[in-house]
Structure 1
C-alpha cells in the first residue's frame, strides 16, 4: 500500500494487502483519534495517539 495511512485504505484494497495489514496491526502501540484504527507504528495513522501500557 505504500505510504498511505490506514485511514486512506479502501475496502477493496484490504483483501489484496492482508499480509501487510497483519504486520501493521499485530502489536498495536498507537490508535487513531479520528477513526479508532490501531497500528504498531504512528506513521500508519493520520491522528496517532500512543496507547498506555497496562499497569
Structure 2
C-alpha cells in the first residue's frame, strides 16, 4: 500500500499514491497557498511540501 495521505510531503508521493488518494489530494490542494519550488506541487499547508514558498 502507498504512503499515508494524512502526513508527509506531497512532493514524495508516487503516481500510484496520487491515483489511490486522488479525492483526498484534491481537498488538500484546492485552496493552495504554497508552491514547492523543487517540483511545482501546491498545497494549503506549508508542511505538505519539501521546499515551500508562499504564493
TM-score range for the pair, normalised by the shorter chain length: 0.7 to 0.9
Query: RMSD between aligned alpha carbons?
Result: 1.0
Query: Which ranges of 4 or more aligned residues in structure 1 deviate by more than 2 Å?
Result: none
Between the aligned partners of 2:28 and 2:46, the Cα distance in structure 1 is 10
- Normalised by the length of structure 2, the TM-score is 0.82
Name structure 1 gaps, 5 residues minimum.
Answer: none
Aligned twin of 2:30: 26
Question: Structure 1 residue 28: deviation in Å?
Answer: 0.9
